[in-house]
Every structure is written in C-alpha cells, then in structure tokens.
C-alpha cells in the first residue's frame, strides 16, 4: 500500500517473491479448512435427511481432502533452505560396462517421466553416449518448485539386477549408476568466481544427437582450478549460451561445496564420488529372479517395478524424507 513501493525495483520484486511463497504455504490450508466446514454442514444435512447419495458425495469429498492434506504435510517436510529451488541432476555409469551405461539411460528416462508427471520442465545440458548402447553420463536441469526438495532423496548409488539383453548367454548381471543432485542457486546469492581460476575449453558436441542433444561445434567445458570441479554444457548452438549455463552450474557446485564445508559435512557432498559398486547403494531395482524395488535407507519396498521405472517414484521419495524428518 505504500505509494513508493513500486519504485523499489529489485526490493519490490523480492517482497513479491516472498509474498508468493507465503501464499503458496497458506492458501492450501485455508482451502482445506473451508472444505472441512462445508463437509461438517453436509454431514448435518445427511444425518437429518438420511440421504445415501449425499453420504456417498461426502465420502468422496473426504477422500480428496485427505489426499490434499497429505500433500500439504509432505511439502511441509521440504523445509530446507534450497528445497524450493530447481535441481541440477548428474547420472554417471559405474561398474558394469555397457550394461551400466544402459542403466544410466533407464534412470534418465525414469526421472524425465517423473518430472513430466509433476509438470516440471527438464533440459539436458550435457550428455555422453556409450560406444555400444546407453549413456556414460548425463547432466540435466529440472525446473519446478521443490524440484530439489524432492530429488535430493535420489543422491547416491542405484543398483540394477536383471538378465542382461547384451549377454548372449542370458545371464544375470548387476549394474551400478550414481546420481548426484544439487540445487540451482538463485541470482541473488553471490558466489565469487575469479576468471583467473577458470580454464575454459571448447569442443564439438559428442553423442548420437536425436531428442537428447543438438550437435554443435560450440560445447564448453569449464574447470575451476582451485577445487578441480569440472562442468560442461553442449546443449545450445551458441557457445555464449553454453558458457553461461556452465557458469550457472559451476556457481551452484561451488555454493554447495561452501555450504557443506560450513556444516562440516563434506562427506555428504562426496557420497556419489565413492566407488560406484557393491555395498554402497541407496536403492536396488531387481528384475530377476523376482521383481522388487527396495530403498535401503527407509526399507520401503515396491513390487511394481515397471511403475517405478515409468516415473512413479514419489512413494520412495516420501518414505526417505519421512525417515529423515
């Protein structure tokens, strides 16, 4: 209501952003409170009139309200400073050769399908295809509110057990892939990056092209010399855009590193850098001799593996977040 509010420029935008965030938290509760009051009135009418049709309608309203409140409570668990941010996700093949590279592509599809169902946007910024099949590694951004809050549960080693389609003897194989998730840092957070600390290399985009990558001659790789962090982007046709995206990811990686150092939890940051092999997995996906997905942190088990691989991973994420809440 202040006459000079809109003259504040960035300050005004910051307040509006905060207002939106607060409303997103408050509005669902207010809506459910109103729905509850309406259901109480409906219940009184049903008791007076003994109307079975109205009773069925009340049960349906109650079911929907329960689902909504469950979602609100779930989001309340996502109370970390960066939980509302976009997520930067990297998947790398581990032990298992071609089989592991195929596993990386399967995990990528799982996350892309999950994001699509959530209404999130995804953008692949770096990808390296395998010699025979699959992907050696891939990095992509998930744009959507609470993308990082959800996907932080996926950081770690993912293990696959199945009959390999690449084995003529139809033997059972075990493959591993690592998933590493960091929050995209907002523009109002300052991370000092000295140009002298950067080595910038350009190269031609690799990969088979198609839906995941545009072939260009302007891929960019940036090495941060003091920390050894390497980021690259090859999605855009413009070298300038690729460099800007790579710098954005570098900023997020450096901020994450700085935050973890302050918290003296560097080990958490390097979880995905330990050997991608036996004994270190957070989740197992078993397709043979039986079908099961098990999260080893929460002990959540789902037997409909195809459903999970088609992107329905919310139950696994929720179980993990509840176990750590």
Residue 63 confidence class, pLDDT cut points 50, 70, 90: very high
Q: Which two tokens stand for residue 226?
A: 């003091």
Share of the chain above pLDDT 70, in %: 90
Q: For the chain, give the number of residues.
A: 325
pLDDT score, position 273: 47
Could you tell me which residue, 22 or 274, shows the higher pLDDT? 22
Burial class of residue 262 (count of CB atoms within 10 Å of its CB; 0-12, 13-18, 19+): exposed
Beta strands across the sheet bearing 229-233: 198-203, 219-224, 229-233
Longest dimension (CA), the chain: 79
Domain spans, the chain? 5-77, 83-325
CA distance 281 to 290: 19
Could you tell me which residue, 293 or 261, shows the higher pLDDT? 293
Beta strands across the sheet bearing 87-93: 121-129, 135-143, 87-93, 172-183, 156-163, 281-286, 292-295, 301-302
pLDDT in tens, 193-227: 888 999 998 887 765 544 444 554 678 999 999 99
pLDDT in tens, 268-324: 444 444 455 555 799 999 998 899 999 999 999 999 999 999 999 999 999 999 888
Share of the chain above pLDDT 90, in %: 50
Confidence check: pLDDT of 92 > 60 = yes
One of 3.40.50.720, 3.30.9.10, 3.30.70.1660, 3.40.109.10 is the CATH number of 83-325, namely 3.30.70.1660
pLDDT score, position 60: 93
CA distance 55 to 52: 5
CA distance 295 to 269: 20
What are the DSSP E strand ranges found in 72-197? 87-93, 121-129, 135-143, 156-163, 172-183
Could you tell me which residue, 216 or 3, shows the higher pLDDT? 3
Burial class of residue 62 (count of CB atoms within 10 Å of its CB; 0-12, 13-18, 19+): middle
């Amino acid at each position: 209501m202040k006459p000079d509010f809109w003259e504040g420029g960035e300050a005004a935008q910051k307040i509006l952003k905060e207002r939106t965030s607060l409303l997103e938290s408050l509005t669902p509760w207010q809506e459910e409170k109103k729905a509850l009051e309406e259901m109480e009135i409906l219940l009184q009418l049903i008791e007076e009139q003994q109307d079975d049709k109205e009773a069925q309608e009340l049960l349906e309203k109650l079911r929907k309200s329960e689902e909504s409140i469950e979602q609100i409570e779930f989001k309340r668990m996502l109370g970390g400073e960066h939980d509302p941010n976009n997520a930067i996700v990297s998947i790398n093949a581990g032990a298992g050769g071609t089989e592991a590279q195929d596993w990386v592509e399967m995990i990528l599809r799982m996350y892309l399908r999950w994001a699509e169902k959530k209404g999130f946007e995804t953008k692949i910024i770096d990808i390296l295809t395998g010699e025979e099949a699959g992907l050696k590694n891939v990095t992509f951004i998930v744009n959507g509110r609470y993308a990082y809050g959800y996907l932080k549960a996926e950081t770690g080693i993912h293990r696959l057990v199945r009959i390999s389609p690449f084995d003529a003897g139809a033997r059972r194989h075990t493959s591993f892939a690592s998933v590493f998730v960091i929050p995209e840092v907002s523009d109002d957070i300052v991370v000092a990056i000295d140009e002298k600390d950067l080595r910038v290399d350009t190269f031609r985009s690799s990969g088979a092209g198609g839906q995941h990558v545009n072939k260009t001659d302007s891929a960019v790789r940036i090495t941060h010399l003091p920390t050894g962090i390497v980021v690259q982007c090859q999605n855009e046709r413009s070298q300038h855009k690729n460099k800007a995206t790579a710098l954005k990811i570098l900023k997020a990686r450096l901020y994450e590193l700085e935050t973890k150092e302050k918290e003296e939890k560097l080990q958490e940051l390097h979880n995905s850098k330990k050997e991608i092999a036996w004994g270190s997995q957070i989740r197992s996906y078993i397709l043979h001799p039986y079908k099961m997905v098990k999260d080893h942190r929460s002990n959540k088990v789902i037997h409909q593996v195809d459903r999970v691989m088609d992107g329905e991973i919310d139950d696994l994420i929720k179980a993990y977040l509840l176990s750590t809440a």
